[in-house]
């Protein structure tokens, strides 16, 4: 068995990299596995306006490059690999990566984030990348002068709809209730944008590809009357929330019904001593880059103190 590492961090969003910065500066020589989406969800957003320290905003991917550089500067060992198997039954814990590399660690910080949700329509998966997307920043460019629909009423939906107006001729925001969940400023921007039309009380219940292989239309269903209508569409963007990336820990760590890892209130500690959780994989409420970073810091400090307490014994 290779020498166990003091701390292994799973995930490379704001939580993972902040945990790495703190752990590295505490001489824990952390190893960080980036996961399948190095940099996490901020790499598929456009401008981040609410991360403190950037008065003029910063592009999400650029911010994550800074996080990575800062973690590396203090000696974090970063691998662009994904943890695919964990054994947390005994210590040191074991993490196996997608390249079959095996790490042993005394403490584990889980910061695996969350992923975009889809509606679950039969055609949706087939048409992903062919008009169906959950990332306007990634795919908006392909919808120049097109008619696109965005589903959702939260900050993501308003942000995506606004972003898409840079390219699309018209953006229709499909909202299932009579109100938006988004913050007031994001609502205002969407509602005042002349290229955005809000369709209240509607659900997207099908997506068509009459010209095979590319979105050509949608079925909308009124959420109170049940009335259905078919509309032409060139694109369908989903912005209906996220699912925590915690499958690896199902049955191992305590979770809520949705799969968010439960931590001790006010702490990053999980039900397993030596295992800590930070960021969106344990936070269904705030889900902000800055709160994720804060919880990454908490996880690293708790890991350091937990290791000290083990050695004191
Ligand atoms: P939210 O959970 O806030 O909103 C999801 C939206 O999708 C809700 O309007 C919800 O409707 C709707 N929805 C959910 N499921 C369905 C469905 N099956 N069919 C139709 N509509 C559905 O997620 P977001 O991703 O928007 O935001 C997550 C967090 O990230 C929030 O805390 C948000 O503030 C933050 N955020 C901040 C940004 C910023 O400040 N720049 C940008 C983006 C996100 P209903 O309201 O009826 O439940």
- Kindly tell me if the per-residue pLDDT of 209 is higher than 80: yes
Confidence label for 1 from pLDDT (cuts 50, 70 and 90): low
Task: Indicate whether residue 309 lines ligand 1 (CB < 6 A).
Answer: no
Percent of the chain with pLDDT over 90: 85
Query: What's the token pair of residue 263?
Result: 């931590």
The residue ranking higher by pLDDT, 311 or 88, is 88
Contact between 259 and 250 under an 8 Å Cβ cutoff? The reply is yes
Share the mean pLDDT of the chain: 95
CA 145/CA 167 separation, integer angstroms? 6
Contact between 100 and 107 under an 8 Å Cβ cutoff? The reply is no
Residue among 40, 44, 152, 204 whose CB has most ligand 1 atoms within 8 A, to mutate = 152
pLDDT of residue 48: 85
Residue among 50, 173, 183, 240 whose CB has most ligand 1 atoms within 8 A, to mutate = 240
Contacts 24+ apart (CB under 8 A), 265-268: 267/298, 267/302, 268/109, 268/295, 268/298, 268/299, 268/302
Contact between 24 and 75 under an 8 Å Cβ cutoff? The reply is yes
Angle in degrees, CA 202, 207, 212, rounded to 5: 160
pLDDT, tens digit, 9 for 90 and up, residues 29-75: 999 999 999 999 888 777 788 899 999 999 999 999 999 999 999 99
CA 115/CA 118 separation, integer angstroms? 10
Percent of the chain with pLDDT over 70: 99
Q: Just list the catalytic residues.
A: 135, 138-139
Task: Compute the CA torsion angle 251, 254, 260, 261 (nearest 10 deg).
Answer: -110
Contact between 27 and 127 under an 8 Å Cβ cutoff? The reply is no
Q: Cα of 182 to ligand 1 centre, how many Å?
A: 7
Q: Cα of 115 to ligand 1 centre, how many Å?
A: 13
- Kindly tell me if the per-residue pLDDT of 243 is higher than 80: yes
CA 192/CA 201 separation, integer angstroms? 19
- Kindly tell me if the per-residue pLDDT of 2 is higher than 80: no
77-79 and 31-33 strand pairing:
parallel
247 CB-contact burial (10 Å; exposed 0-12 / middle 13-18 / buried 19+): exposed
Task: Indicate whether residue 83 lines ligand 1 (CB < 6 A).
Answer: no
Confidence label for 18 from pLDDT (cuts 50, 70 and 90): very high
Task: Indicate whether residue 181 lines ligand 1 (CB < 6 A).
Answer: yes
- Kindly tell me if the per-residue pLDDT of 248 is higher than 90: yes
Contact between 194 and 167 under an 8 Å Cβ cutoff? The reply is no
The predicted model gives 83-109 an average pLDDT of 97
170-174 and 196-199 strand pairing:
parallel
Task: Indicate whether residue 176 lines ligand 1 (CB < 6 A).
Answer: yes
The predicted model gives 242-246 an average pLDDT of 95
Q: Which residues, at least 6 apart from 113, have a Cβ–Cβ distance to it below 8 Å?
A: 11, 13, 15, 35, 37, 40, 41, 244, 245, 279, 280, 281
Task: Indicate whether residue 151 lines ligand 1 (CB < 6 A).
Answer: yes
257 CB-contact burial (10 Å; exposed 0-12 / middle 13-18 / buried 19+): exposed
pLDDT of residue 151: 98
Q: Which residues of 149-158 are buried (b: 16+ CB within 10 A; e: fewer)?
A: bbbbbbbbbb
């Amino acid at each position: 068995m290779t020498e166990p590492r003091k701390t292994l961090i799973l995930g490379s969003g704001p939580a993972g990299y902040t945990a790495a910065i703190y752990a590295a500066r505490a001489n824990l020589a952390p190893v960080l596995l980036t996961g399948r989406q190095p940099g996490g969800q901020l790499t598929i957003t456009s401008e981040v306006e609410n991360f403190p320290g950037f008065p003029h905003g910063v592009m999400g991917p650029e911010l994550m490059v800074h996080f990575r550089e800062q973690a590396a500067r203090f000696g974090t060992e970063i691998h662009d690999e994904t943890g695919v198997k964990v054994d947390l039954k005994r210590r040191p814990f074991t993490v196996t990566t997608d390249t079959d590399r095996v790490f042993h660690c005394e403490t584990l910080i889980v910061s695996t984030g969350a992923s975009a949700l889809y509606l679950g329509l039969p055609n949706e998966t087939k048409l992903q990348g062919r008009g169906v997307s959950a990332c306007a920043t990634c795919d908006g460019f392909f919808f120049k002068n097109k008619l696109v629909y965005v589903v959702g009423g939260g900050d993501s939906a308003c942000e995506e709809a606004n972003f898409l107006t840079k390219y699309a001729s018209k953006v229709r925001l499909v909202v299932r209730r009579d109100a938006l969940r988004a913050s007031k400023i994001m609502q205002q921007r969407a509602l005042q944008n002349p290229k955005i039309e809000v369709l209240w009380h509607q659900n997207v219940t099908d997506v068509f590809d009459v010209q095979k292989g590319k979105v050509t239309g949608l079925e909308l269903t009124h959420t109170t009357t049940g009335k259905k209508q078919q509309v032409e569409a060139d694109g369908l963007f989903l912005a209906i929330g996220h699912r925590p990336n915690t499958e690896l820990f199902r049955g191992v760590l305590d979770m809520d019904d949705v799969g968010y890892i439960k931590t001790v209130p006010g702490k990053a500690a999980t039900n397993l001593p030596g295992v800590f959780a930070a960021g969106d994989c344990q936070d269904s409420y705030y889900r902000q880059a800055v709160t994720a970073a804060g919880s990454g810091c908490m996880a690293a400090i708790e890991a350091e103190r937990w290791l000290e307490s083990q050695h004191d014994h």
